[in-house]
Amino acid sequence: MAEKAATEELIRVHHKLMITHRVRPGPYATIYFDELKEGRWWAIKCPKCKSLWTPPTLSCKICHIMLPEFPQHWLQISGKGYLESWYDVVETSKSSTGEEATNPYLTANFWLDEGMQQGHVVGVAPGTEEAKKLKRGMRVQAVWRPQEKRIGQISDIECFEVLWGEPIRKMGRATAPNDMEPPMNPWDLPPMEG
């Protein structure tokens, strides 16, 4: 019987598991999501190591101290920054009739003016002449969904549009623009107390 089982052909069935669940966002995330709905994007700055976190968290992920409540050390993000890197993404989906549809887009990493990195969609269609003109260091700005379509999630920012008329900024080797302070290296911190 074991020999027969070893020779049987196995098939692979792909299935997405969709689970709906509810989570309590906590005090900082509740403020963060409520503010996103109003078109305001926040980060929290650690008073010890100066790292920025969005969405704001209760404790710093680098030096592990408790972070202050809103609005102390919270920083409103301008939504402006510089293009760091980008790549094409093609999502393929199948309808109930088996027809395939593709949804190509560009996703990118940005250096925000506040000195932190953020990943999001670029408002340029892949494969277009505009996409071929993208350059590292180009100025970008967040584009918000209309107020009535916002739901209090980071997707309330539709994309980052390229500000084509602005000068391209020379980016440093450590990915941060030359005049921006790069994020702190966690290995440079002193050992934790206790």
For residues 145 and 81, the answer to whether their CB atoms sit within 8 Å is: no
Residues 45 and 93 in one domain: no
Residues 117 and 41 in one domain: no
Residues 129 and 41 in one domain: no
Using the Cα atoms of residue 168, residue 124, residue 150 and residue 144 in order, give the sign of their dihedral: positive
Q: How many domains does the chain divide into?
A: 2
Predicted pLDDT of residue 2: 55
Q: Hey, what's the torsion of the CAs at 84, 56, 31, 146, to 10 degrees? A: 10
- The answer to the question of residue 2 being in a domain is no
- The answer to the question of residue 133 being in a domain is yes
Domain range for 30 is: 26-77
- The answer to the question of residue 43 being in a domain is yes
Predicted pLDDT of residue 193: 47
The number of C-alpha atoms within 13 Å of 172 and in the hemisphere containing its C-beta is 11
pTM over 0.85: no
Q: Model confidence over 8-44: pLDDT tens digits?
A: 777 777 777 778 877 778 889 999 999 999 999 999 9
Q: Model confidence over 77-92: pLDDT tens digits?
A: 999 999 999 998 887 7
- The answer to the question of residue 145 being in a domain is yes
For residues 42 and 164, the answer to whether their CB atoms sit within 8 Å is: no
- H or E segment to which residue 176 belongs: none
Instruction: Give the C-alpha separation, 185 to 68, whole Å.
Output: 22
- The answer to the question of residue 16 being in a domain is no
Using the Cα atoms of residue 162, residue 166, residue 167 and residue 171 in order, give the sign of their dihedral: negative
Cα–Cα distances (Å) from 87 to 9, 33, 104, 122, 144, in that order, read 38, 28, 11, 10, 22
- The answer to the question of residue 5 being in a domain is no
- The answer to the question of residue 9 being in a domain is no
Residues 93 and 159 in one domain: yes
- The answer to the question of residue 15 being in a domain is no
Six token digits for residue 176: 């941060």
- Residue 13, beta-bridge partner list: none
Residues 37 and 107 in one domain: no
Predicted pLDDT of residue 1: 53
Question: Has residue 150 got a pLDDT over 70?
Answer: yes
